[in-house]
Structure 1
Amino acid sequence: MKLAGKTALVTGASSGIGAAIAEALAANGASVTVNYFRNEAGACAVEKKIMGAGQQALVVQADVRKKSEVRRMFEEHLRRFGRLDILVNNAGDMVKRVATAETSEETWRDAIDLNLSSAFYCCQEAIAPMRSQNFGRIINISSVGARTGGGAGSIPYHAAKAAVMAMTKALAKELAQNGVTVNTVAPGIIDTEFHDRHTAPHLRDEWIKTLIPMQRAGLPREVANVVAFLASDDASYMTGSTVDVNGGMAMY
């Protein structure tokens, strides 16, 4: 197992891509802290799968938009596992799809806090333990829309996700001498509840047909497997990179 003996913390891991990431890391040998905000049942289901794979799991409720709760979450992880090898900043959401002229200050701030500030706070807390052990893997989840601009009504979300890419590059430079790599994964249209909430079915189908050469949505495990690779020693010479998982929707 490529991640045997490693410990990981995954935010927003109670469903969708986050759940698949937590399960993939465990399948590769890592012990995993499963963070959730509201979906306790989902987090406990992920915990059960991790334990079924023979690995240790810790479920921690925390609102990662709040620095104090992020700090508590990391303290709980370190108290349980003693070290932190892998951080996956997955928590995020569009909040709502709304025209730019009608976007409220609250919606803007909510999108920035959930998609950008949360990742920044988690990276801050990860630096000390990773530096102390001269090893770490930070993987930030962005979006294809950070490159393309996304669909109508999504500026706050995709602006935040683009900032995550920039933060990844800056932090990769800062931590390169400490044995810590920092990379981004940018999913395209993935078959999760995200698009059920924010994209009309006919529009989703149209995007898949006209924008994706592979003519299908991606699966959460297809994103998770890339994250597991970036967390492993196989990706030891990759840092500051963005890996696109989008079926050809955007090619760089």
Structure 2
Amino acid sequence: MSNILKGKVALVTGGSRGLGAATAEALADHGADVAISYAASADKAEAVVEKLRGKGVRAIAVKSDQADLASARPLIDRVLAEFGRLDILVNNAGIAIQGQTVDDPELDGEKYNHQWQVNVMGTIANTRAAASKLTDGGRIIFIGSRLGSVVPFSGVADYAGTKWALAGYAKGIARDLGPRNITVNVVQPGIMPTDMAADVAGELPNRDAILDMHPIRRIATLEEVAETVCFLAGPHAGYITGETVNIAGGIGV
């Protein structure tokens, strides 16, 4: 596509499938060398890496379970050891557990607590580990969710909370890292064609009714979201920071 990210090194957490894989490919298309992390899917991660290398960039996959906060620093250290620098951190890894209301007597608190551990604490751990290592003028991009700021149905309180927590955290990080010209932004997609979305589809209300809430009545493509990440990672977004960009077909407007 272009070489606007040539010479840059990006880390995409949770890059073995879905939006993470699409984002890794888009970054490579724009010239970046790319590391991806994965928790379990080694074969899928290596397949993504081979595809990235086929685009003429350097690429590696690093096993790193975001639920284990101690895994963050070794992940960043491995990227630095392989590439010598880190310019772009895409905090994509996360899980979606939905369907139970907070007053449900059968609420699986342990499962929902695990979601907070992965989506919030794990993401924070990776960001802390990377912050002092990022090159000046670097980029941090959090993948949130439109559910973080617009909740049109029940049973998603914890998931929405984890994503909105990231939006608030990102604003603080933008303030902390602004003196180094590091920008920090959040991309909030709506419904996307991913395995994770399919896994929770049976726990959500009627999908057609949800789509009816959107001025643009369709789901987002992975490419639309990935290219937005690339824009925020690129040279034309150097004065955009602390912002939340919604890619959700206008729901909530």
TM-score band by shorter chain is over 0.9
The question of whether the paired residues in 2 share the 8 Å contact of 1:96 and 1:107 is answered with no
Q: Which of 179, 192, 195 is equivalent to 1:193?
A: 195
Partner of 2:144: 142
**Counterpart pick for 2:60 among 58, 61, 79:** 58
Of 231-240 and 93-102, more deviation after overlay is shown by 93-102
Identity %: 35
Two-structure CA RMSD over aligned residues (Å): 1.4
The match for 2:71 is: 69
CA deviation after TM superposition for structure 1 residue 206, in Å: 2.5
Note if contact 1:145-1:151 (Cα within 8 Å) is conserved in structure 2: no
The match for 2:206 is 203
1:202 CA drift (Å) = 7.3
Deviation per residue, 1:63-112 (Å, 9 max, x gap): 11222111111111000001000000001121342221233331231111
**Which blocks of at least 5 consecutive residues in structure 1 are unaligned?**
none
Cα drift, residue 150 of structure 1 = 5.0
Code of the aligned partner of 2:197: H
3-state SS in 2 of match to 1:33: strand
**Residue 47 (1) aligns with residue 45 (2):** no
Structure 2 alignment gaps of length 5 or more:
none
- Counterparts of 1:8-27 in structure 2 under 5 Å? 8-27=10-29
Structure number having the greater helix percentage = 1
Q: Distance in 2 between matches of 1:239 and 1:35?
A: 25
Partner of 2:125: 121
For 1:171 and 1:202, the matched residues in 2 are separated by 35
TM-score where L is the length of structure 1: 0.94
Distance across 2 between alignment mates of 1:120 and 1:204:
32
User: 2:111 aligns to what?
Assistant: 107
Q: Give 4+ residue runs of structure 1 displaced > 2 Å after superposition.
A: 102-105
Greater mean alpha carbon deviation, residues 1-10 or residues 99-108 = 99-108
Kindly provide the CA deviation profile for residues 13-37 of structure 1, in whole angstroms up to 9, marking residues without a partner as x.
1111111111111110111111111
Q: How many pairs align?
A: 248
